[in-house]
Chain A
Amino acid sequence: MDAADREQLLARLRGVVGERYAFADPYEMRLYQYDASPETALPDIVVIPGTAADVARVVKICADAQVPITARSAASSLAGGTVPVEHGVVITFARMDRILEIDPDNQRAVVEPGVVNLALSQALKPLGYYYVPDPSSQGACTIGGNVGTNAGGPHTLLYGVTVNHVTGLELALPSGALVQVGGRKAAAASGYDLTGLFVGSEGTMGIATKIWVKIQPLPPVQKTLMAVYPDVETASNAVSAIVRSGILPAAIEMMDKLSIQAIEAASHAGYPLDAGAVLLLEVDGIPELVDELGERMAKACRESGATEVRVAKDEAERQALWKGRKGAFSAMGRLSPDFYVMDGVVPRTRLPETLAKIDAISARTGFKICNVFHAGDGNLHPLVLFDAFKPGQYEAVLRIGDEILKLCADAGGSVTGEHGIGLEKRENIRYVFSDDDLEVMDRIRRVFDPHGLMNPGKVFPGEVLEGSAPSRAPDHASRRAAAGIGGDDVWV
């Protein structure tokens, strides 16, 4: 975009949101060039609208000017979902962070997209309710962003991911329309389920300006267990054995030896340093049952090779165990200046062989790979440790990532369980979908966004889209250094 076009567009956008909330100063915009993925790209203009109507007006102005639009909230995306790779306008939701309504009678809450995930559950707690999906970044990530990626979290094993908890959306579309789909009642009773279609579309169809979510009664008691295994293989075989035993815990998380060391150094969660792998399991239930379930689960753990099973004695111990897990990625800074997070999924019965193959890749390439992940649903998060300032390392790590995603796909799994395709995996999506599959999806995208302006360069491989996005920038390390991005503040 040339300077004159930018000035003209900026003036029009300021006419909607006011002088203060639209800016194009390169220094101010630096904050908006990255998310939690390694890629960066500067927007031309950043807009911070205050209302849904303003979002619709901003989208319309941009669409009329054929300028790309990227929605961004907390920018905790690990897949580059909010990096404005084709520049244009970034719309951010810092001012749209209101919980509009809590409606226990209908078991719903209505929120703006910028509401922080955890803030909603905290607001619901006094009423005995919570919002179930709990990404590890829940202290920062927003419900709007969660809708974009169809976010998961440890406790989605039993209760489902974002799409299972969203019943309605208000959408700002490139046409300029502000449309409500679904709403307070149970999802879609007549007409196509546009709510379900939109969730997880990563900002490529439009922008959610209002979200109706289900709220659920808090479980009376939660029991958290830590099971210690001699190695990753025994632990991953145990996952299938536990699930097959008939108990589906609310969460089953796994951490390998390297992760345990990093976590213990950072947060003293109480994981044994000599363990080969640790499973963190949680069941919820009524007081008269939860002990029995805990015992049955402990028994299943021991029978599947656990050398030690420890039950959290109280809430403090439980919180410590979870704090370690949820802070795992931040703790990796203790081990390595940089790390690259993958998000593959395999059927849980294929966990042992997949982890063995990942281990072999690590041995072959010399890069250390940690595994901290949602074992219960087979959602792997291998972390490849590297140093971006060493020449060639970043490129090598990308190749490793690609290889890992390929083996997940070949095992009958997927290339992303909860982070989204974003920018990062737009070529890897071919491992799970054929040209025909992608062509149908692209046709649907065009219904919403005929000119390819909504978060362009994401989800679809370059060739599927007209005017494909630039490939990964070669000077990653220097740009990353210039942007001052460290290895902290990343969750999964």
Chain B
Amino acid sequence: MESALTLDHFLIVSGFLFAIGLAGVLVRRNIIVIFMCLELMLSAANLTLVAFSRFNVHEGQPSYEGHVLLFFIITVAAAEVAVGLAIIVALYRSRETTDVGKLNTMKN
């Protein structure tokens, strides 16, 4: 089945998604939202992985290495989110805020 879709389509979607995530990280001040935007950027990277794997066909089969890597990324991301949110909760308990603008003890 020949399709009109090219690799470009997916890569550009991925690039935009990454840029949106980046913008979120840069402008939002709520640390939880920043964290979500990070996940968005990670997903953008995932999309390129799957796309490249799908476009790299050998003997009628896509290369599944990309999928395996994705599997690991999702697992690690799950661990990261768990720990990250725990840190945020701890931070909130001690500082009573989620505003990164107020978390500036490292200043100068």
Binding partners A and B: no
